[in-house]
Chain A
Amino acid sequence: MIALLTRDLRLAVRAGGGFGLGLAFFLIVVTLVPFGVGPEGGVLARIAPGILWLGALLACLLSLDRIFALDFEDGSLDLLATAPIPLEGVVSVKAAAHWLTTGLPLVLAAPVFGVLLHLPQPAYFWLVVSLMLGTPALSVLGTFGAALTVGLKRGGLLLSLLVLPLYVPTLIFGAELVRRGANGMDTQVPLLMLAGITAACVAVVPFASAAAIRVNLR
């Protein structure tokens, strides 16, 4: 399984792997917002938590369809399914690799992008915490969507339609955590909810993803 993780990470940073694509997309979304809503600091500061979370979520979505599509096209997925790794392990590793190449860079870059949106100073800590806790759920749920659509031509749009509704709880509690942090309110409830959602997703969703792949490989 470690071999699979290192292979996926290596593929992501090699030519055509798409590493950094999500990050660049995040940057562009965040830069476009002040053009759309105007540069007034008060307005931007108020909407910043939501925008940052939305941007991170869309950036995550961007690379989802690659998770299994490439392995499906070149036949690796068939071979992985017959290899002595359980398919649940394969999908978990794939989700982990997606998080390391997409989610983690977003978490680390988010404070910098927060500056562009006049994010209030106390919110930076909570922004990083919320993304750190929330983005693994985005990757795991996205892997499930990618597993469902793996055999389909042009499955990317369908994938977005399937996955975005599943992202709603994470988005709500993630953005709420940052908003409360920014206003100096109690953060315990959204923090626990966000962590709980991620823990549940990581524990349960790989089984669903593996089942979806088994059906799609038939």
Chain B
Amino acid sequence: MTMLSVENLAVTRGGLPVLEGVSFALEAGHALVLRGPNGIGKTTLLRTLAGLQPALSGRISMPPETMAYAAHADGLKSTLSVTENLMFWASVYGTGAIDTALDRMNLRQLAERAAHSLSAGQKRRLGLARLLVTGRPVWVLDEPTVSLDAASVALFAEAVRAHLGSGGAALMATHIDLGLEEARVLDLAPFKARPPEEGGIAGSFDEAFA
């Protein structure tokens, strides 16, 4: 079953096209890793897929209410405890169960600690635990392994594998190898937007809204 399909998508950053002609399909149980040099537009592509910004052209199709998005920032409230942070997202997504997520990301001992007293890697683990409590099948992840140590990366890879095994799908932008042999890699460099004089799409740069 196709969870997410993208056809001929062009995305813009600050009103200027950065990627064009991006097409791929993501099936249930599969993962797709986006690669490409800094500034190629990985984050922009993921934000467009998450619906945070409009696409310049092309089509994104996925069933409604299936995506969970995780950005660079974890969206944690520093004065709330780990449990309170997770419970909040669990009730926003209407799932209400956080126990599995605490165990999967090895946060059980930290459950009552306030988020501001966590280390960068522990915060990241909490941010990733948020994905588990959403109960959404399609994960869209932007640099999920930043500031994680090797053991936590393995923990995260295990969580992704379990998610894929239960019929989920994952799309992530990452530079490191997660050890997920089932993941396909999509290099974004060939999709770099051409300037308009070479036949690329003209941007919609508008100073007032840039």
**Given A82-B67, A84-B65, A215-B209: A74 in contact with B75 (beta carbons within 8 A):** yes
Task: State the B residues within 8 Å of A (CB).
Answer: 47, 50-54, 65, 67-80, 84, 87-89, 91-94, 130, 209
Number of A-B contacts (CB under 8 A): 76
A83 at interface by CB-CB < 8 Å: yes
Which A residues touch B93, using CB under 8 A?
A: 83-84
A183 at interface by CB-CB < 8 Å: no
Cα–Cα distance between A85 and B54 once the two chains are bound (Å) = 19
Q: Please give the distance in Å from A217's CB to the nearest CB on chain B.
A: 5
- B13 nearest CB neighbor, chain A only: A218
Task: State the A residues within 8 Å of B (CB).
Answer: 2-4, 7, 10-11, 14-17, 71, 73-85, 215, 217-218
**Given A10-B80, A84-B93, A84-B94: A78 in contact with B53 (beta carbons within 8 A):** no
CB <8 Å contact, A79 and B69: yes
Cα–Cα distance between A83 and B78 once the two chains are bound (Å) = 20
Q: Is the interface of B mostly helix, strand, loop or mixed?
A: loop
Q: Please give the distance in Å from A200's CB to the nearest CB on chain B.
A: 27
**Given A7-B77, A7-B88, A218-B53: A79 in contact with B71 (beta carbons within 8 A):** yes
Cα–Cα distance between A73 and B74 once the two chains are bound (Å) = 10
Q: Please give the distance in Å from A216's CB to the nearest CB on chain B.
A: 10
- B79 nearest CB neighbor, chain A only: A14
- A215 nearest CB neighbor, chain B only: B209
Which B residues touch A71, using CB under 8 A?
A: 75
Which B residues touch A82, using CB under 8 A?
A: 50-52, 67-69
